Every structure is written in structure tokens, then in C-alpha cells.
Amino acid sequence: MQVRRVVRYRGGLVSWLVMHLPGKITALFAAVFALCACAAVHLQAQESSSQTQTTQELPSPVYVSINPLEKVRYDNRYDMSLGFAYDHMKAGPSLLQGSNLGGLNMEGSYWLTRNWGIQASGRGYVGTSGTAPNAPNNIRGPMVKQYFFVGGAEWLGPHNKHGAMIAHAMFGGVYGNFQKDLLGQPPAKFDFYYNQIAPAAIVGGEMDLNRSEHWVFRITPDAVMTHYTFNDAPYANSSYGQFDVNFAISVGMEYKFTKFKRSTDKKKNWVSGW
């Protein structure tokens, strides 16, 4: 078949045979582009749907409030405490230098009523003492010890779930060891007391800070009273008693045995109203 050409040597219209191949390539590229665009839109829609579904499936956070003081009560029958203790004292009646002693303080309580109870305390203090103005043979800083065993009454004062104030007065005895580091010399040479058991009293109280139903942070400041006897032998045949009042404090933890309860009902037990 004879093909007619309508293109001049320069310029003019192009025949359909000249445009046939480029037209197919353009159509192919258009189809591929459309297919890619559809695939991208479909993929984006799937991702959006997946994110929406994942967001919907996540459970909302749940916050649980726990109050450790919720079950704090003052109806336990027994409690016990242990703390690090400090005590200041003088190892002799006329010494210028005192003794700073450290040790432990253990206390136990048995509550009779809502506010009244019986308390016992065992305390041990150890430290060194000055000897001025009496320091023969260059003895400096001899070791001194005190061991208290007292008991008495305690009263539960103002209290709530956060803390309590407790007062106590206890009486008993103290063992004082003052001669250990005197190298066998008589204690009167240093104006020291001799080793002895003497009357003692402890008056003070506790400041409690509740940490849970069972555990309590406790601070115990006290006035410690002792009545040691001073013997001036062998320099003189005389002896006399010395009444001393000193400061002591302990810091520790208390544990309440809440399994055993005491009565706090005024109507059922009139004593509990005290």
C-alpha cells in the first residue's frame, strides 16, 4: 500500500506513523503511574486503619492509690522498740569533764487500757571519760559503762494516723562500771565512783511517726537520774551519795503486734476511758 507523507522538508504537520511509537510509550508510563498511585493510596489506607485499630485496642491506664497509714490503729496490746542511744554523764562527783556514751535502748510495752500501759526498758551505754582535774600516771580517757534496767507506767497522749506523743516514768537500777581502765588504782584517786549498782529513774517520753500499720519511727528523749555512792577510801573513811540528772536520747524503730488487741470501748470497759 502506498503511504502518503504530509511532512515537508522543514516544518509542517506530522503524520500518524511518526507519532505512533511515542504515543504508546506515553500511554504506558501513564498506566504505570496510575497503578503506583492506586497502590500507594491503598497502602496508606491500610496503615491508617491499622494504627486506628491498635490505638483502640490499648487499654486505658489504671491508677491505684495506696495509703500505708490506712490501717494505723492504737488498739494493739504489745509493742517493742530498739534504737541507737546517747547518754551524757559524769563518772565522779567533782569531775570537770563529762562522758558522752553511746549504746542501745530496748523498750517493750504492755497496754492495759486505751491510754495507759506498762513499759520496761533495758539500756546499755559505753564510752570514755575525762579525768580532769585528777589525772595521775597520765591516765586519760578511761572506759566507763552504764547498764539500766527500769520499768514503770506510760500514757498515750495526742495521736492520729500520722504519729503520737507518749509520756513515761520508769524506776529501777543502774550498774556503773568505772574502774576498768584505772590500772588497779583506787577510784577515789581520780574522784571516780567505784563499780556499783545504784537506784535510777528515767522520765521522758516518745515521739512516734507512723510508717505503716506495724512500723513506727521513734525518738525517745529522757531525763536520766542516778544516785551513785562515792567512797573516799583509802584517803578518808567517808562516803556519800551523789544525785545526778543527765540527758539521754535514742532514735530507732518500733514494731506493733497488732494481732493482739486491747479494749478501746468506753462503754464496754470503763477503765479504757482513762
Mean pLDDT of the 147-156 span: 98
Q: Measured between alpha carbons, how far is residue 188 from residues 7, 93, 210, 244 in Å?
A: 143, 10, 48, 18
pLDDT tens figures, 181-202? 888 888 888 889 999 999 999 9
Which amino acid is located at 96 in the chain?
L
pLDDT score, position 162: 94
Task: Tell which wins on pLDDT, 100 or 53.
Answer: 100
Report the pLDDT value the prediction gives residue 26, as an integer from 0 to 100.
Answer: 63
- The predicted pLDDT at position 182 comes to 87
Number of Cβ within 10 Å of residue 105's Cβ equals 26
Q: What is the DSSP letter of 68?
A: T
The per-residue pLDDT of the chain, averaged, comes to: 82
Integer Cα distance of 170 and 114 in angstroms? 19
Cell of 199: 537506784
196-210/99-111 β-pairing: unpaired
pTM of the model: 0.72
Task: Please tell us whether the domain made up of 76-273 is placed in CATH 3.40.50.300.
Answer: no
Evaluate whether 97 touches 129 at the Cβ level (below 8 Å). Answer: yes
List, for residues 207-265, the tens digit of each pLDDT value. Answer: 999 999 999 999 999 999 999 999 887 777 778 889 999 999 999 999 999 888 887 66
- 245 within 8 A of 222, measured Cβ to Cβ: no
Q: What is the pLDDT of residues 5-42, one digit of tens each?
A: 444 544 445 444 444 555 555 666 666 666 666 666 56
Residue predicted with more confidence, 69 or 249: 249
Res 260: pLDDT: 83
pLDDT for residue 270: 44
Could you tell me which residue, 271 or 80, shows the higher pLDDT? 80
Percent of the chain with pLDDT over 70: 73
Where along the chain do its domains lie?
A: 16-52, 76-273
| Residue located via cell numbers 585528777 | 134
Q: Is 143 exposed, middle or buried (0-12, 13-18, 19+ CB in 10 A)?
A: middle
Average pLDDT value for residue range 134-156: 87
